[in-house]
Each structure stands twice: as C-alpha cells, then as structure tokens.
C-alpha cells in the first residue's frame, strides 16, 4: 500500500491529524484526495470505487483512518455516490451548514477526528431506511476495511 492510501502513515508523527498543515496533508494525499477531503470538493458521480460495492466491512476516513460507517448502513440511493443511512456513532462525524449553493442550503458531513470533508447528509427524501437520512459520501473520502456484517 502506498503512502497516499495508508491511513496510518503521515508526513511526521503528529498525534492529532486535526492539526496538520496543508503541506502535511499534501504529502499524505493525492491531489484528487486533497481537493475533496481538505477543500470540500466533490468527485464526479458514478466513478467512485465504492459507489456500487456490496462488500461487508467498515468504511474509514481516507485521510486519518477513523471508522465512520458500516456496510450494513449502506444502501443504493441511485445518486452516483455511496449512500449510508447512519454513521457508526454520532460522534464519528460533525455537521456544518453549507451555503455554497445560493438558495439551497445543505448540511456538510466531516470526519470528527481530522475535519476532512466527506460529503453531505440529506433528510426526508423518502428512502425506506430506519433514519430517512442519506449520507451522500464521496468514495475518494473513504477506504473500506473488509470484514463481516454486523
């Protein structure tokens, strides 16, 4: 696994990735990963490696390795990005109001450990899930650790 994919490696032994500088993140991440994770970019729809996967396991933050979502909460929302109805625990993600689209406020989802952009969460879309939430997450923001279903 190269350094850009290894969530445990970093440019130096900083204990809190939430305090890394842009230069340190640029050493760890590919330019595309940096654009999405550190600059709140979005990968194009239907191209991410986890959009259609059904592999059981834990989805981790690609930047810091924090456990974020379990595959049992992933569902096919036909939106072009991986969709989950719940994070592993409420403290795994944090929410920020995103007013970047005029007249269409959204809720941005970030990793609670390192502050990296993951995607957005939408409510009330009518999906048949336990929460009626759709965490629309960029594949490039995640790594999948295969494992058994919960």
Q: How far is CA 66 from CA 16, 114, 117, 128, 135, in A?
A: 12, 8, 13, 28, 17
Q: Is 111 a catalytic residue?
A: no
139 and 43 Cβ atoms separated by less than 8 Å: yes
Strands lying side by side in the sheet with 117-123: 74-75, 83-84, 133-137, 117-123, 106-111, 93-98
Q: Which long-range contacts (CB under 8 A, 24 or more apart) does 124-129 make?
A: 127/75, 127/77, 127/85, 129/75, 129/85
User: Hey, what are 52's tokens?
Assistant: 């259609």
For 143: left if phi > 0, alpha if psi spans -120 to 50, otherwise beta; the answer is beta
Q: Among the options 61, 111, 114, 136, which is catalytic?
A: 136
Positions marked catalytic: 136
């Amino acid at each position: 696994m190269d350094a850009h994919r290894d969530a445990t490696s970093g440019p130096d032994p900083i204990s809190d990735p939430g305090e890394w500088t842009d230069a340190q993140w640029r050493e760890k991440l590919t330019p595309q990963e940096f654009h999405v994770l550190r600059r709140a970019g979005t990968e194009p729809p239907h191209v991410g490696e986890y959009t259609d996967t059904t592999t059981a396991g834990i989805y981790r933050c690609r930047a810091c390795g924090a456990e974020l979502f379990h595959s049992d909460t992933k569902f096919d929302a036909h939106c072009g990005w991986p969709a989950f109805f719940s994070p592993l625990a409420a403290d795994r993600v944090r929410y920020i109001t995103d007013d970047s689209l005029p007249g269409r406020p959204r809720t941005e989802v970030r990793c609670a450990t390192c502050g990296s952009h993951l995607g957005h969460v939408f409510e009330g879309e009518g999906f048949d899930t336990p929460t009626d939430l759709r965490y629309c997450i960029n594949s490039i923001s995640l790594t999948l650790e295969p494992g058994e279903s919960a």
